[in-house]
Amino acid sequence: MIQPSETGVETIADELLDQALAERRALVQLCVYAMDRARSSGVVERIEEGLAGIGVTAVRPDGQRFDPSRHEAGGTVQTDDPTLDGLVAETEVVGFSDRGRTLRAPIVTVYTAR
């Protein structure tokens, strides 16, 4: 009996999968690029919805505890409220995650105690 690997079917399937994954990565990068430059909130929303449909989600950690392993600090803002110290005040640049894998960390402003 002839095995699939002997006919080259497995090799062709692997090549097609590799090509499809590379094309997906390129399209996701293009969508993120377009989203960063879009002037219309409707366009941003539509691109974000489309990306979410394929497992790529926007990361806006506003109100969450700042985590340097997941967030990039772009700046700080002082606060008199000690409960806000170390929390993300605002997302400056939206991050993206592909099924839990970070594509781009969000750049955030972090509250610091006065």
**Which CATH superfamily hosts domain 56-114?**
Head domain of nucleotide exchange factor GrpE (2.30.22.10)
Burial label, 52 (beta-carbon count in 10 A; 0-12, 13-18, 19+): exposed
Q: Read off the pTM.
A: 0.82
pLDDT at residue 69, rounded to an integer: 96
Q: Are 87 and 65 in contact (CB under 8 A)?
A: yes
pLDDT at residue 112, rounded to an integer: 97
Q: Half-sphere exposure of 64 toward its Cβ, with a 13 Å CA cutoff? A: 12
Q: Where are the domains of the chain?
A: 1-54, 56-114
| Per-position pLDDT tens, the chain of length 114 | 555 555 566 889 999 999 999 999 999 999 999 999 999 999 999 999 999 999 999 999 999 999 999 999 999 999 999 999 999 999 999 999 999 999 999 999 999 999
32 to 47, 59, 81: CA distances (angstroms):
8, 12, 35
